[in-house]
Chain A
Amino acid sequence: MSDRGYLQASNGIRSWLLTTDHKRIGILYAVAVAAFFLLGGLFAMLVRAELAVPGETIMGQDAYNQSFTLHGVVMVFLVIIPAIPGILGNFVLPLQIGARDVAFPRLNLASWYIFMVGAVLALCGWLVVGNVDTGWTFYTPYSSDGSAAVLWLTTAVFIAGFASIFTGLNFIVTVHKMRAPGMTWNRLPLFVWAIYATAIVQVLATPVIGITMVLLFLERLLQIGIFDPALGGDPVLFQHFFWFYSHPAVYIMILPAMGIISELMGTFSRQQVSGYTFIALSSVAIAFLGFLVWGHHMFVAGQSAISSIIFSMLTFLIGIPTGIKVFNWVATMYKGSVWLQTPMLYALMFLFLFAIGGLTGIMVGVLAVDVHLHDTYFIVAHFHYVMMGGAMIALIGGLHYWWPKITGRMYSETAGKIAAGMVFVGFNLTFFTQFVMGSRGMPRRYHDYKQLLAQYPEFAGWHLASSIGSFVLAAGLFMILIYGLRSLRHGPPASANPWGAATLEWTHTAVTPAAHNFHRTPLVTRGPYDYHLAPELFRSEEQAEHPVATNQEDNIRE
């Protein structure tokens, strides 16, 4: 019975493209996002290759400007925003709350298609019109009287936004209405809390980017004069509109990642996640505060000093709920039993990198300091530490963690650890160097720095080191891709609960869950991290190794 998991429930390409099974939709997202990540990564490598040595090497100014724009647009709108909710939120969330599916499965599939339409339009903008060179921030008036590709991109972002809205809406309703009996709010796994908080942000913030894109579209098409100063419009107003969404959006990126980290810290420390309530509620606090700080991107943009001061203060407040999470994750290991498997290595790596990214976020939130650091590589380093080092590393850790549940196979632990090491070293070499050159004055979005070398000769060394690091990082990521794909065929079969985790997706489903997840709706009698109440999950090596012997239904305690 347990071998008839959702993967074999039906066959053929149609069974995938028309599926309403949340698990399969999760995989559709995984495939799409991985492809876009490769594409975004390719553009990143072009950027780094050009900057490796001074002078024009592999491409000219226009090509460079398009590369970083496409890199930013692809990574933000097509990778990191849909990634965790789309892949792991879809796959894991219904399982974790004991539901048979999300509340609106067809809407869920529709979201994926909407997302793909948006993605295709964005790529059309690049391939058909070309000259996409506004930066991912689309600042007017540069965008509103530049390349016509802006029309495609704004449409793409508008449409992809709906996918995000519908995903969020689906999850909110699912969490409210579809929980299994006994799954009270304080028994929700922290990943669910995090996705829930994310969904609130998605629903509340995304419509604003939608309307911003509509206005920008019309500005470019009809010159409506809202944002273009030549027509009496106000470019700073555009920045307000843009960041009103795009700051909350960074919490769409990081909150689910934090949810993954909570799961990993709990499972691999086999200990109650310290400060459960604090972590759960701090997600909600971050989601809420995230709406009030957008102006910190505009300290030198010409907004009034008083707004800058208020935004700076609110920015700092976000550090506090985030700090609560970080400290609690660390404290979770106290008196635990820490198992340093690959997913846990990524969790620890997340702590390291996200702490740097977050603390430098606080640094750039300091008004007088940001004046110097704004639009330098210091900012580039800050956001790569939180986005790549935080969100993407957590995603990679989460994929390793749920891999056995998704595919029914184990990947090679040795390869996993080596790749993790390469990613860690490569990442820090790539981006730590950028902090130094940034605070020394290297501006971002620069095609070249040859002319700066006369006065700042050190830039050459830092850039070269950064480029070398990026190739190490890329090699590490490729290694993950390869051993991951390999494990699909050659990986040893997994057990239903290889990590001894205590949440429902591990305890109450087959190796790969059945099409409808649970044969009987689980009755929840304990918290998500009450390992001491469920010792049967890992007490015997025998059982852990051969879980087929444990019929998952025996675990339902009624």
Chain B
Amino acid sequence: MSSVTQGDTLKHYFASAEQQFDAAKMGMWLFLITEVLLFSGMFVAYTVYRVWHPEVFAHASELLDWQLGALNTLVLLASSFTVALSIHFMQQNEKEKVVVLLLITLLCATAFMVVKYFEYTGKFAHGIFPGAGYEPYGESHGKSYADYDIPFAAQFFSIYFIMTGIHGVHVLVGMVLFAWLATRVARGHFSSAYYTPLELTGLYWHLVDIIWIFLFPLLYLI
């Protein structure tokens, strides 16, 4: 149980563990491509509206708190790093470190979602909802929200909520995966000879990170 060999995990329809690993990895890459395309649809919508209404978008993005955004960027980058490190230690068979790193990753992801929660509720509190519910009011940080009740600002926030919302769902999925991986590693299901799920989740997490790296400047900064 403690040391996992290749034979334990080889499915009958594969000729070798290597083939099995290659297949899994290729499958994951293809899946990531579909994820990129899913987001690129939203990026197209964003670009189209940005090109049509550049001033509105620039103006509306002032309402997003770039400091919180930057914080979240750092948090995600850190979590990507801990994942990479956990894979490194998995190759060395240092399971305790792997578990710790995975838990740190999970923590980072949670922190990210907590920050997002405050961002979202902060917006809702001022009547900023996706779609027809958009009716900004009140004041904070020296900005009068009512000034942002201009045409197409609603579109900006709809796009903001959709993109960060779908991204957030991906973070949640990642959190579930990390929790699951941490238990499996702790129970000794993986070894340096077999840790495909960890490797693949790592790939997935890097993608979630990269997408955020695009979302952050597009939505918060420019």
Residues of A within 8 A of B (CB): 99-101, 103-105, 107, 165, 169-170, 172-174, 176-178, 203-204, 206-208, 210-212, 214-215, 218-219, 221-226, 231-234, 237, 241, 516, 521
Residues of B within 8 A of A (CB): 11-15, 19, 22-23, 26-27, 30-31, 33-35, 37-42, 44-45, 48-49, 129-133, 151-152, 154-155, 158-159, 162, 166
A207-B38, A516-B13 known; A218-B27 Cβ under 8 A: no
- Contact A226 B155, beta carbon cutoff 8 Å: yes
Shortest Cβ gap from B10 to chain A (Å)? 12
A169-B34, A224-B131, A231-B132 known; A207-B158 Cβ under 8 A: no
- Contact B13 A211, beta carbon cutoff 8 Å: no
Partner pick for B26 among A173, A218, A516, CB 8 A cutoff:
A173
- Contact B13 A99, beta carbon cutoff 8 Å: yes
- Contact B133 A222, beta carbon cutoff 8 Å: yes
| Complex: chain B residue closest to A241, CB-CB | B41
Q: Which residues of B contact A107 (CB under 8 A)?
A: 27
Shortest Cβ gap from B116 to chain A (Å)? 18
Partner pick for B152 among A212, A232, A521, CB 8 A cutoff:
A232
Q: List 24 A-B contacts (CB under 8 A).
A: A100-B12, A100-B13, A101-B13, A103-B23, A104-B27, A173-B23, A173-B30, A174-B23, A177-B19, A208-B37, A208-B41, A211-B42, A215-B41, A215-B42, A218-B158, A222-B130, A223-B132, A224-B159, A225-B132, A225-B155, A231-B132, A232-B154, A516-B13, A521-B15
- Contact A226 B33, beta carbon cutoff 8 Å: no
Expressed in whole angstroms, the Cα–Cα distance for A169 and B49 within the complex equals: 32
- Contact A222 B30, beta carbon cutoff 8 Å: no
Q: A224-B131, A225-B152 provided; 13 other pairs, C-beta below 8 A?
A: A177-B19, A177-B22, A177-B23, A203-B30, A211-B39, A214-B162, A219-B131, A224-B154, A225-B132, A226-B49, A226-B155, A232-B152, A516-B13
Q: Which residues of B contact A226 (CB under 8 A)?
A: 45, 49, 155, 158-159
- Contact B12 A516, beta carbon cutoff 8 Å: yes
Q: Which residues of B contact A233 (CB under 8 A)?
A: 155
- Contact B133 A172, beta carbon cutoff 8 Å: no
* Residue among B35, B49, B151 with most chain A CB within 10 A: B49
Q: Which residues of B contact A219 (CB under 8 A)?
A: 131
Expressed in whole angstroms, the Cα–Cα distance for A521 and B15 within the complex equals: 9
Partner pick for A203 among B34, B132, B159, CB 8 A cutoff:
B34
Shortest Cβ gap from A151 to chain B (Å)? 14
Expressed in whole angstroms, the Cα–Cα distance for A207 and B39 within the complex equals: 9
Shortest Cβ gap from A292 to chain B (Å)? 15
Shortest Cβ gap from A160 to chain B (Å)? 15
Partner pick for B27 among A99, A173, A214, A224, CB 8 A cutoff:
A173
Shortest Cβ gap from B56 to chain A (Å)? 10
Q: Which residues of B contact A212 (CB under 8 A)?
A: 41
Partner pick for A225 among B37, B39, B131, CB 8 A cutoff:
B131
- Contact B155 A169, beta carbon cutoff 8 Å: no
Expressed in whole angstroms, the Cα–Cα distance for A293 and B48 within the complex equals: 20
Smallest CB-CB A-B distances: 10 pairs: A222-B131, A211-B41, A223-B132, A224-B158, A100-B13, A207-B37, A101-B13, A207-B38, A224-B131, A177-B23
A207-B37, A211-B42, A215-B45 known; A225-B158 Cβ under 8 A: yes
| Complex: chain A residue closest to B151, CB-CB | A232
Shortest Cβ gap from B148 to chain A (Å)? 15
A99-B13, A103-B23, A178-B23 known; A222-B41 Cβ under 8 A: no
Q: Which residues of B contact A206 (CB under 8 A)?
A: 34
A203-B33, A207-B41, A237-B48 known; A103-B158 Cβ under 8 A: no
Q: Which residues of A contact B48 (CB under 8 A)?
A: 234, 237
- Contact B38 A211, beta carbon cutoff 8 Å: yes
Shortest Cβ gap from A103 to chain B (Å)? 4
Q: Which residues of A contact B15 (CB under 8 A)?
A: 521
- Contact B131 A218, beta carbon cutoff 8 Å: yes
A207-B41, A208-B37, A211-B38 known; A224-B162 Cβ under 8 A: yes
Expressed in whole angstroms, the Cα–Cα distance for A204 and B151 within the complex equals: 34
Expressed in whole angstroms, the Cα–Cα distance for A231 and B153 within the complex equals: 11
- Contact B130 A218, beta carbon cutoff 8 Å: yes
Partner pick for B130 among A207, A224, A521, CB 8 A cutoff:
A224
Expressed in whole angstroms, the Cα–Cα distance for A225 and B53 within the complex equals: 14
Expressed in whole angstroms, the Cα–Cα distance for A234 and B44 within the complex equals: 13
- Contact A225 B154, beta carbon cutoff 8 Å: yes
A206-B34, A207-B41 known; A222-B13 Cβ under 8 A: no
A103-B27, A225-B131 known; A232-B155 Cβ under 8 A: yes
Shortest Cβ gap from B19 to chain A (Å)? 6
- Contact B34 A165, beta carbon cutoff 8 Å: yes
* Residue among B11, B13, B39, B40 with most chain A CB within 10 A: B13
- Contact B22 A207, beta carbon cutoff 8 Å: no
Expressed in whole angstroms, the Cα–Cα distance for A226 and B130 within the complex equals: 11
Shortest Cβ gap from A531 to chain B (Å)? 29
Q: Which residues of A contact B162 (CB under 8 A)?
A: 214-215, 218, 224
Expressed in whole angstroms, the Cα–Cα distance for A203 and B34 within the complex equals: 6
Shortest Cβ gap from A416 to chain B (Å)? 34
| Complex: chain A residue closest to B166, CB-CB | A214
Shortest Cβ gap from B42 to chain A (Å)? 6
Q: Which residues of B contact A170 (CB under 8 A)?
A: 27
Expressed in whole angstroms, the Cα–Cα distance for A225 and B131 within the complex equals: 6
- Contact B45 A169, beta carbon cutoff 8 Å: no
Expressed in whole angstroms, the Cα–Cα distance for A231 and B132 within the complex equals: 8
Shortest Cβ gap from B34 to chain A (Å)? 5
Partner pick for B131 among A169, A173, A207, A223, CB 8 A cutoff:
A223
| Complex: chain A residue closest to B53, CB-CB | A232
Shortest Cβ gap from A225 to chain B (Å)? 5
Expressed in whole angstroms, the Cα–Cα distance for A107 and B37 within the complex equals: 21
Expressed in whole angstroms, the Cα–Cα distance for A233 and B158 within the complex equals: 12
Expressed in whole angstroms, the Cα–Cα distance for A210 and B14 within the complex equals: 32
Expressed in whole angstroms, the Cα–Cα distance for A203 and B133 within the complex equals: 35
Q: Which residues of B contact A218 (CB under 8 A)?
A: 130-131, 158, 162
Q: Which residues of A contact B40 (CB under 8 A)?
A: 208
Expressed in whole angstroms, the Cα–Cα distance for A203 and B23 within the complex equals: 16
Q: Which residues of B contact A103 (CB under 8 A)?
A: 23, 27
Q: Which residues of A contact B158 (CB under 8 A)?
A: 218, 222, 224-226
Q: Which residues of A contact B49 (CB under 8 A)?
A: 226
* Residue among B14, B37, B42, B48 with most chain A CB within 10 A: B37
A225-B155, A232-B151, A516-B12 known; A204-B37 Cβ under 8 A: yes
| Complex: chain B residue closest to A103, CB-CB | B23
Q: Which residues of B contact A241 (CB under 8 A)?
A: 41, 44
Shortest Cβ gap from A267 to chain B (Å)? 27
- Contact B31 A169, beta carbon cutoff 8 Å: yes
Q: Which residues of A contact B151 (CB under 8 A)?
A: 232
Shortest Cβ gap from A136 to chain B (Å)? 20
Shortest Cβ gap from B134 to chain A (Å)? 9
Q: Which residues of A contact B12 (CB under 8 A)?
A: 100, 516
Expressed in whole angstroms, the Cα–Cα distance for A215 and B35 within the complex equals: 16
